[in-house]
Amino acid sequence: MEKTGHKVRVIALPSDWGTVLPLYRQLLSAHHPVADVLILDSTWIGALAPLLLDIPPTDDDAATRPPPFQVEGRHVALPWYRDIGLLFYRRDLLERYHLPVPTRWNDLERTATLIQNAEYQRGHPVWGYVWQGRTSESLVCNALEWDGAENPVGTDGTVRTSLPGLQRALERAARWIGTASPPGVLNYDEENARGIFQSGHAVFMRNWVYAWALANSPDSPVSGKIGVAPVPRDTQDAPSGIDGTVYLGIPRNTAHPAEALSLLHYLTSETAERHQALAGGYIPARTSLLDDPEIRSAIPILDTIRPALASLGLRPVAQTGIDYPRVSWIMANHFKDALRSTQSSRQTLTSLVSSLKQLAMLGQWTLSNSTIEKHTP
Amino acid sequence: MLTVPAPKRFDWRPWALVAPAMLVLMAVTAIPFARTIWLAFHDDPHGFMPAQPGWSLTNFRVLLQDRAWWTAVSTTLLFAAGAVISETCAGLAIAMLLQGYSLKLRGILLAVILLPWAVPSVVAARLWNWMLNDQYGIINALLVRLGLLHQGVAWTTHPHSMVAVMIVIDVWQATPFMALLSLAGLQSIPTDVFEAAQLDGASPWQRFISITLPLVAPVLSVAVLFRLLDALRMFDLASVLYGTDMSGMTLSAFVQSQIVQFGAPGYGAASALGTLGIIALAAVLYGVCLKIPGWIRSS
């Protein structure tokens, strides 16, 4: 850093995002960690919170959306850049059939089926909609974006016992499989879905921000023919894209807490976020930068997805804390059972609720105002 | 001349000689195993156990009620039984076919057959995953072209077909091993027994049932035990093909995800001990099954 004279060594993370959390668990349990500032996916913070240093609140905290990540009232991580679930579409196909970009999930289903059938008759078989159905975190994101789908865990950490909206959403999505979506969608992750969409074999795709640049790269068959929009809204008229913000945090056992904090503040400063937005296309977490004309021209999709960025579709990470990876696993598996129709959505959700309740009892779900009774041995 | 044995004295030399081996065994087996037992019965801040001192059975109580665990138990047993039985039958059949060929031809064929055995499981799982892909997979393309399917099937999404796919891949991989061991067993049977049976007018089926099978059984039963233990600890296929999908999780995959993904060493240790128990039970059951024909004959 030029300002302070300290040297920063950048340690590359493994390319497989899924292996980072176990790695961090090991690093943070060590006597001294090898890193002083950590890149944190929002889903890991609950599990790592007990091992992260408190970041003192500042006046600057209101300048970002989302705000600093809080666990049990402690600030443990600052947002670095935004990511969000988006709907990608084939502009050329929508134009050919004079159809608008769907803003409701039912419209999406109708539009997808219509174009799929029409294109089939023209001799160009395409799928209507590709998304992420593989049993993983991605499936949880997809399901919670469907309209009316309630979050099974409330913001105060209570387990909701009645999930009629989620049930309807799962039933509708189960209908897509083999009709609007390929049967293999239940095995797709982000890259599989992008493969189908980018090779021109799907009308719609749900994916994260990164897919935009790749699908528009010069060697992409659909380059220039695609558009992006917030995922269809839910009944409350709020865009429901799941928030995938990436945060920065400091391990509790760091040998250089002061320097780490100063680096953290620099990396999340306006200068640094502006630079990485212009150079790398990262969407800044600072809301003031979203209106910056230079950044808006560097990230052209910013204008269309701006309404989606304003709202935060949150997964129950903060509430379930240390148990979130397990909560996510249980949710993904239950959603999957409903989607492949091995069980009715109703039965599946009943079983999901009882599993989550059991977990809430055994676990240490963190919010102090949680209505769940703590398990006493 | 008679040597008079020296009076018995404690001799430290044999102990000193085995000591290094014992120390290594302690370090690599006994200590980790003791640690696993300790973890399984103790406080686990990242898992299910609330912070409390002393020994506790909570991990095991939770394990017994864990639907995912019991699914993993049944998946593993189904997979092991399906895979080992198919591999043994196919391996024996291939070995009997090979035995009929000349030595040179047999060598070439054996080398070709053994190729899948040389492929690492992770690679095999990836290969098959591509071949079974619903959009681009060669297997679906073939079936559609032959008119057997209208559109590609996603083979790896339904729970039943998930286990079946694992069995198919394992059979593809491990049948060569069974064929090789069966062939070794077959070659150890003296040919004059068959000649005598043939002179007495025994049919090929009778020769197979009364001569081949009993004589090859000792070799085969050891090979089956190896395969059984191998199949019960299957991790690669389940992990690569299905990740964290409960319907495709084997016991090893379950234990791994508890420890690595969920950071619950205590619960992971408890499930590891549970896995050990199930494998031991299966091995004992297999031993009992082997003894049954003997009991029938003697009674």
Tens-digit pLDDT profile for residues A294-329: 999 989 889 888 888 888 888 999 888 888 999 999
Q: Which residues contact B217 (CB under 8 A, 6 or more apart)?
A: none
Is A358 an 8 Å CB contact of chain B?
Answer: yes
Closest CB from B133, B158, B244 relative to A329: B244
Homologous superfamily (CATH) of A85-242+317-377 is: Periplasmic binding protein-like II (3.40.190.10)
- Nearest CA to A130 out of A209, A70, A73, A199 is that of A199
Q: Identify the helix (H) or strand (E) that includes residue A128.
A: strand A127-130
Using a CB-CB cut-off of 8 Å, the residues of chain B touching A333 are: 68, 244-247
Q: Could B50 and A182 be called an inter-chain contact, meaning their C-beta atoms sit closer than 8 Å?
A: no
The rounded distance, in Å, linking the Cα atoms of B238 and B124 is 12
Query: How confident is the model over A70-108, as pLDDT tens digits?
Result: 988 899 999 999 999 999 999 999 999 999 999 899 999
Does the pLDDT value for residue B37 go beyond 90?
yes
Q: How many other CB atoms are found less than 10 A from the CB of residue A260?
A: 22
- Burial class of B125 by CB neighbour count within 10 A (0 to 12, 13 to 18, 19+): buried
- Nearest CA to A167 out of A153, A185, A148, A154 is that of A148
Shortest distance, CA B37 to any CA of chain A (angstroms): 21
**Average pLDDT of span B224-246:** 93
Is B122 an 8 Å CB contact of chain A?
Answer: no
- Nearest CA to A107 out of A226, A223, A203, A213 is that of A203
Asked if A289 and A307 count as a contact pair (C-beta separation under 8 A), the reply is no
pLDDT confidence of residue A375:
35
Distances (CA, A) of A288 to A229, A262, A283, A297, A370: 21, 21, 12, 15, 34
Nearest residue on chain A to B46, judged by CA atoms? A322
pLDDT confidence of residue B64:
92
Cα dihedral B36, B40, B46, B48 in deg (nearest 10): 160
User: Which has the minimum average pLDDT: A232-236, A258-262, A298-302?
Assistant: A232-236
**Which of A21, A326, A353 would best serve as a mutation to test chain B binding (most B beta carbons within 10 A)?**
A326
Asked if A184 and B151 count as a contact pair (C-beta separation under 8 A), the reply is no
Is A21 an 8 Å CB contact of chain B?
Answer: yes
pLDDT confidence of residue B153:
85
The rounded distance, in Å, linking the Cα atoms of B215 and A302 is 76
The CATH number of the structural domain formed by A17-83+244-310 is 3.40.190.10
Number of domain units in chain B: 1
Asked if the structure places residue B29 within a domain, the reply is no
Using a CB-CB cut-off of 8 Å, the residues of chain B touching A326 are: 262, 264
> Taking the domains of chain A in order of start, what are their residue ranges?
17-83+244-310, 85-242+317-377
pLDDT confidence of residue A242:
92
Q: Chain-wide mean pLDDT for chain B?
A: 89
Mutual angle of helices B31-40 and B265-298, in 10-degree steps: 110
- Nearest CA to A135 out of B151, B162, B251, B78 is that of B162
Q: Within 13 Å and on the Cβ side, how many CA atoms surround A273?
A: 24
Higher pLDDT, A171 or A238: A171
Higher pLDDT, A372 or A143: A143
Global ipTM: 0.87
Query: How confident is the model over A9-27, as pLDDT tens digits?
Result: 888 888 888 889 999 988 8
Shortest distance, CA B267 to any CA of chain A (angstroms): 12
pLDDT confidence of residue A372:
35
Nearest residue on chain B to A332, judged by CA atoms? B245
CATH assignment of the domain containing B213: 1.10.3720.10
Using a CB-CB cut-off of 8 Å, the residues of chain B touching A325 are: 261-263
**Average pLDDT of span A61-68:** 90
Nearest residue on chain B to A23, judged by CA atoms? B260
Distances (CA, A) of B288 to B282, B294, B296: 10, 10, 13
Using a CB-CB cut-off of 8 Å, the residues of chain B touching A355 are: 67
Using a CB-CB cut-off of 8 Å, the residues of chain A touching B242 are: 135
Does the pLDDT value for residue A69 go beyond 70?
yes
pLDDT confidence of residue B297:
79
Shortest distance, CA A150 to any CA of chain B (angstroms): 23
Is B116 an 8 Å CB contact of chain A?
Answer: no
pLDDT confidence of residue A369:
41
- % of chain A beyond a pLDDT of 70: 94
Closest CB from B135, B159, B264 relative to A184: B135
pLDDT confidence of residue A202:
96
Tell me, letter by letter, the H, E, C secondary structure of B40-96. HCCCCCCCCCCCCCCCCCHHHHHHHHCHHHHHHHHHHHHHHHHHHHHHHHHHHHHHH
pLDDT confidence of residue B30:
92
- % of chain B beyond a pLDDT of 90: 57
Exposure pattern of A88-108 as b/e (b: 16+ CB <10 Å)?
Answer: bbbeebbeeeebebbeebeeb
Asked if A335 and A143 count as a contact pair (C-beta separation under 8 A), the reply is yes
**Average pLDDT of span A60-68:** 90
User: Which has the minimum average pLDDT: A89-98, B48-57, B138-147, B269-278?
Assistant: B48-57
Using a CB-CB cut-off of 8 Å, the residues of chain A touching B244 are: 135-136, 329, 332-333
Using a CB-CB cut-off of 8 Å, the residues of chain A touching B157 are: 183-184, 186-187, 340
Confidence band of B152 (pLDDT split at 50, 70, 90): confident
Asked if the structure places residue B31 within a domain, the reply is no
Nearest residue on chain A to B49, judged by CA atoms? A362
- % of chain A beyond a pLDDT of 90: 67
Indicate if A85-242+317-377 has the same CATH topology as A17-83+244-310: yes
Which structural domain, as residue segments, surrounds residue B178? 56-288
pLDDT confidence of residue B292:
84
Q: Is beta strand A127-130 parallel, antiparallel or unpaired with respect to A202-207?
A: parallel
Asked if A155 and A319 count as a contact pair (C-beta separation under 8 A), the reply is yes
pLDDT confidence of residue A368:
43
The rounded distance, in Å, linking the Cα atoms of B267 and B274 is 10
Using a CB-CB cut-off of 8 Å, the residues of chain B touching A185 are: 154
What are A156's two structure tokens?
């105060």
Confidence band of B62 (pLDDT split at 50, 70, 90): confident
- Burial class of A120 by CB neighbour count within 10 A (0 to 12, 13 to 18, 19+): exposed
3-state DSSP assignment of residue A262: helix
User: Which has the minimum average pLDDT: A110-114, A204-208, B209-213?
Assistant: B209-213
Does the pLDDT value for residue A275 go beyond 70?
yes
Confidence band of A373 (pLDDT split at 50, 70, 90): very low
Q: Chain-wide mean pLDDT for chain A?
A: 89
Q: Could A183 and B156 be called an inter-chain contact, meaning their C-beta atoms sit closer than 8 Å?
A: no
Does the pLDDT value for residue A112 go beyond 80?
yes
Query: How confident is the model over B181-207, as pLDDT tens digits?
Result: 999 999 988 888 888 988 998 888 998
Asked if the structure places residue B9 within a domain, the reply is no
